[in-house]
Structure 1
Amino acid sequence: MDQRREKRQNNQRENSHERTKKLTLAAMFFALGIVLPFWIGQIPAIGKVLLPMHIPVLLCGLIVGWKYGLAVGFLLPVVRGMLFGMPKLFPNGMAMALELGTYGLVIGLVYGHSKWKCMLALYRSLITAMIAGRLVWAAAEVVLLGVTGSAFTWQMFVAGAFLNAIPGIILQLVLIPTVMAALNRANVLKFSRPDALRENAQ
């Protein structure tokens, strides 16, 4: 009985430590999302191109998990809009909150449920999240602009989701795998590859 109680207490301590670690990392990514846009001088045109708030949300979903990615992604534009007025809460801030929340949710779920943690799984998760987030953003813009009597056109969707965002998309596709690979080399995170699993089995 004492051994069972001790084992249960150890498990509780480990779970508490893991939750604290995840909360700390999520808070770090949230703070990074607050600060990062200042590096581009709060210029909306540049922000729409480089998408500085997307990067910490995507990394949060990958590293900490979908629940934290969802929370950080949704709250980040709202809190930043309330503190600094950028982005404006309606309609852009609310649409971004749904978009970024979707990024953190989808990338965390897809990568977390991948059979192997490798670059292929990473890119698949990243691209899936990018597509899902942009579709949610478009749907949100249709609804929110509809409330104001404005229309969200196909041209606005293509320009906002893809054409204007090409530099930011390229940056994410290069930077995020680079960061994850660096964490793998530093043994902070470990990739698992099919060939590595076969070698270990032998």
Structure 2
Amino acid sequence: MNQTQTKKLIYTAICISLGLLLPMVGKIPGANLGAILLPMHIPVLLAGFLCGAPYATFCGMILPPLNYALTGRPAIFPTGISMMFELGAYGCITAVLYRVTKGKVSMSLIGGMLGGRIVMGIANTILWGMQGNTYGFSIFLTGAFVKALPGITIQLIIIPVILYALKKAKLTDLD
């Protein structure tokens, strides 16, 4: 294993750890802050920039079942399964776009967020259909964008700041 692979593994482990810790901050009985603040999304998006597609995809897909095993949330069906696809897509798409755009953080971040939400909509359509329910476009828009607006705003602000700080501290070789 070379130094680059080791660094990616360490960053992936840190992102998974953050993905387990951040949701704990928003655990208030009776309030579903996870669906509003999206705490698992931040470390997965960071993994997309820092670790590349395979590691970031793994990070995104492992976090929902790990969180469920530790805390009982998110419920595995349909939310947890849907989140596995959504977060996996976040990490993968962000990493691929970052490489394709030659280091354009904002474009990669927004593209990854949109792509992940589209994957989530497709997954929810299938999973809800398995239960005999309809996952309509208005439900998708409300959950993916309206209800999630505070979390989206936080992501758009904090991810570039964290990446800049890591680069400035010479903890990453981002362009």
TM range (shorter): over 0.9
Task: State the number of aligned residues.
Answer: 174
Runs of 4 or more above 6 Å deviation:
none
Q: Which residue of 2 aligns with 1:83?
A: 70
How far 1:109 sits from its partner (Å)?
0.7
Distance 1:47 1:95 in 2: 14
1:111-161 deviation line (CA, Å, top 9, x unaligned): 02323x3xxx10000000011000000000010010111110111101100
Q: Aligned match of 2:86 in 95, 99, 105?
A: 99
Q: Which residue of 2 aligns with 1:141?
A: 124
Distance 2:71 2:34 in 1: 14
Matches within 5 A, 1:22-171: 22-41=8-27, 45-115=32-102, 117=103, 121-171=104-154
Q: Which residue of 1 aligns with 2:160?
A: 177
Identify the range of structure 1 (18-27 vs 144-153) with the bigger mean alpha-carbon deviation: 18-27
Distance 2:124 2:27 in 1: 25
1:170-189 deviation line (CA, Å, top 9, x unaligned): 00000000011111221223
**Structure 2: gaps (5+ residues):** none
Distance 1:140 1:153 in 2: 12
TM-score of the superposition, structure 1-length normalised?
0.82
Q: Which residue identity does 1:48 align to in structure 2?
A: A
Q: Which residue identity does 2:80 align to in structure 1?
A: G
Q: Which residue identity does 1:136 align to in structure 2?
A: V
Q: SS at the partner of 2:59?
A: helix
Q: Share of identical aligned residues, percent?
A: 38
How far 1:53 sits from its partner (Å)?
0.2
Q: SS at the partner of 2:33?
A: helix
Contact 2:20–2:67 (CA under 8 A) maintained in structure 1: yes
Distance 1:126 1:42 in 2: 29
Contact 2:50–2:174 (CA under 8 A) maintained in structure 1: no
Q: Which residue identity does 2:95 align to in structure 1?
A: G
**Structure 1: gaps (5+ residues):** 1-14, 193-202
Q: Which residue identity does 2:125 align to in structure 1?
A: V
Distance 1:166 1:83 in 2: 27
How far 1:71 sits from its partner (Å)?
0.3
Higher RCO structure (Cα 8 Å, ≥6 apart): 2
TM-score of the superposition, structure 2-length normalised?
0.94
Distance 1:67 1:42 in 2: 33
Distance 1:24 1:190 in 2: 14
